[in-house]
Chains A and B, each alone.
Chain A
Amino acid sequence: EAGVTQFPSHSVIEKGQTVTLRCDPISGHDNLYWYRRVMGKEIKFLLHFVKESKQDESGMPNNRFLAERTGGTYSTLKVQPAELEDSGVYFCASSLGSFDEQYFGPGTRLTVT
C-alpha cells in the first residue's frame, strides 16, 4: 500500500512568488492534515480536512495560505505571496478516521529567498 506522498520534495522560490504544495493521502483516508515545521521550532498543526470539508483551520498563519481538497482526494496548499518566514518543512498526514493513527508524508522543504 502506498503511503502519503508529497510533491515537490523541495521548492526554492523568491519572496513574493507563489508556490503550491501537493499531498496525496493514503487511498480511502477521509482525514487529511497539514502541519509545518519552521527552522528550530516544533511541528505545528495548520489545518484538518474531513473529505473535502475544512474541519479546523485554526492553525493557518494568515490569509496568504490557502488549502483545498477538491473531491476529497488529494490536497493542495498554496502560499501567495510567499514571505521569508514561510520557509520550513510542510508535512501532510492522513488517517482513516478522526481518531485513527495519522500517517505522515516525507514533507516538502520550502525555501523562500
Chain B
Amino acid sequence: QKEVEQDPGPLSVPEGAIVSLNCTYSNSAFQYFMWYRQYSRKGPELLMYTYSSGNKEDGRFTAQVDKSSKYISLFIRDSQPSDSATYLCASHYSGGYQKVTFGTGTKLQVIP
C-alpha cells in the first residue's frame, strides 16, 4: 500500500469553478502535510504547508487535513487557466528533516 494515495485524474473544470483535490495517507506518524504544484517540465513548487489537523487558507487556496480519517484536501476557488498543472500532496514525519513522501499527483486542467 502506498503511504500517500492520490487520484491521478485528469480533472477538467471550467474557469471559475471550485476545484477539490483529495488524498489519503496511511502512516499515522505523518505530522506535516503539503501541496505542491508542478507545471510541465518544471520541478514541484510548494503551494501549501500545514501541521496536523485543521484548515489553512492562502488567497484562493484552502488546505484541509483531517488526521482522524487520514484525509488531505486542497480547494481552489475561482479557478483560472493558469492553475492548470499537476498537484501533488505530500507528507513528512515530525522532527528531523523533511524526508517528503509524495502522492502520484492529480493533473488539473482549467478550461477558459
Contact = CB atoms under 8 A, between A and B. Distances in A.
Interface in A17-34: 31, 33
B103 A42 contact: yes
B41 A95 contact: no
Interface string B57-90: 0000000000000000000000000000000100
A42 B2 contact: yes
Interface residues of B, number: 20
B18 interface: no
A91 to B, nearest CB: 6
Interface of B: 2, 4, 41-46, 49, 88, 96-105
Interface of A: 4, 31, 33, 35, 40-45, 48, 55-56, 59, 91, 93, 95, 98-99, 101-102, 104-107
5 contacts: A31-B97, A42-B88, A45-B99, A104-B44, A105-B43
